Amino acid sequence: MKIIDKVKSIKEQELTATENLEQKYNIIEEKNDEINAFVELDLERAQKVAKEIDDKIKSGEKTGKLAGLVIGIKCNINVEDFIVSAASPTLKEYQGSYNATVINKIIEEDGVIVGLTNMDEFAAGSSTETSMYGPTNNPNALGHIPGGSSGGSAAAIAADMCDIALGSDTGGSIRNPASHCGVMGFKPTYGMVSRQGLLDLAMSLDQIGPFANDTTGIGLMLDVITGYDPYDTTTLNKETTPFIDDTTNTTLENTSVGIVKEFMDVTDSKINDVINKSVDKMSDLGAEIKELSFGDVDLGLPTYYLINYVEFFSATRKYDGRKYGERIEEVCGPEVARRIQIGSYISQKEFSGKYYNKALQARSLIRKDFNNVLNDVDILAGPTVPKLPHKIGEKIDTMDMYAYDVLTVLANITGIPASSMKAGLVNDIPVGLQLQAKPEEDHKILSTMSAIENN
């Protein structure tokens, strides 16, 4: 059943919010030991919320857009009374004392938050292996990483443990695990969703977004969490049409779709075969397919990581062991330590911003060139991740880990919207199709996903 139909059946009393929660919780109990998608659960609190929603429905009161849906939240987003640790020993006892803006919005729309999901420590990774809670298993490719850093949220959706989950995406952390787990993930345009209450990885790149198994789940959640927030001055102040309206689209007529040659060149050929089939399908649905070229692909990763290190270093200065938890340098894992060390080094006064300024120059160049490519078409389609996920625990070096991000970081560097949806399988492992569009053209992405899904 599509998520939108589930909400309808809850509102029409064919299914109660309590029953829906029970169904999801049974799956969690059955599978979470093996999958490790949720790191903290609060059944009692969720039951109370579900009951309140059922009571409202019974008494004929109006309920919200998410009425009775079970929601999982990445553990770097503040939810009151949950441990918001970002999967780091630094914050292992840090209890959320307030709700992030997105959480308040979910509660207002009658979503039922059941728990927090696993992730890489401080969202700095692509495998969910650096979590203090241990790795998450990929429900659709057991024994393999689910991707990251929002691996717990993607896995929770893939295993059907909740209806919608939230993640954060700084360089691919929503799209990458969506791709490896075979679910849908959506990173909105930078500024579409408030970051207030999100623990920063790199604030000029971070964006919150949803995971679901169908576009109606994505559309409903986008309708709830997008919009201007006075507490986050980077949010955009614009009214848009409802995202849920995009999810009934069935055609790609009048849509031009660009395929970037250099994106395919860096990708495994078996993954490209699957992506090419999706492109054929888009063409069958009426899309005009155009071959495009983008020369700066190799600038993406160095630019992204330089900015990430500097901004992350600055964001971590508050974890000095006084106000929040432990002193980060004393307890963090090697990847977080590396980012702090390098970030600190390149931020030194002696360099007077030399390296960071170079990265910002490269960022402007990439933005200009990528906008030129985007100007030729409505949508860019291609692979989300250039290679298959490795086995959990398999040693891979840092550069190979970073290489997973080569196709996803561009959307964060430029601030554009981007999504991933399942394109097919390679060796029985899901492979994602990434769609990207111009800034604020999030609707085009969702309606394109919908056309592919509905045919």
Catalytic residue among 85, 88, 131, 173: 173
Cα–Cα distances (Å) from 244 to 89, 194, 219, in that order, read 39, 19, 5
How far is residue 277's CA from residue 314's CA, in Å, rounded to a whole number?
44
CB of 360 to ligand GLN, least distance (A): 18
Q: Report which residue's Cβ sits closest to ligand GLN.
A: 173
Binding positions for ligand GLN, rule: CB under 6 A: 123-126, 149, 168-173, 201, 308, 405
Q: With DSSP H G I counted as helix, E B as strand and the rest as coil, what are the percentages for the chain, rounded to 5?
A: 45, 15, 40
The beta strand positions in 215-310, using DSSP E, are 256-260, 288-292
Containing 17, the helix (H) or strand (E) segment is helix 17-35
Is 447 a known active-site residue?
Answer: no
Q: Which sign, positive or negative, has the C-alpha torsion 434, 439, 442, 448?
A: negative
Cα-Cα end-to-end distance for the chain: 16
Catalytic residue among 149, 194, 419, 447: 149
How far is residue 317's CA from residue 180's CA, in Å, rounded to a whole number?
33
Is 173 a known active-site residue?
Answer: yes
- Do the Cβ atoms of 152 and 114 come closer than 8 Å? no
Beta carbon nearer to ligand GLN, 54 or 169: 169
How large is the C-alpha radius of gyration of the chain? 21
CB of 336 to ligand GLN, least distance (A): 10
Backbone phi, psi, residue 112, to 5°: -110, 100
Catalytic residue among 74, 105, 422, 438: 74
CB of 306 to ligand GLN, least distance (A): 11
| Residue 277 in tokens | 């089939």
CB of 149 to ligand GLN, least distance (A): 4
Pure H helices in 135-207: 151-158, 175-181
Beta carbon nearer to ligand GLN, 117 or 447: 117
Beta carbon nearer to ligand GLN, 200 or 223: 200
Is 149 a known active-site residue?
Answer: yes
CB of 153 to ligand GLN, least distance (A): 12
Residues that are catalytic: 74, 149, 173
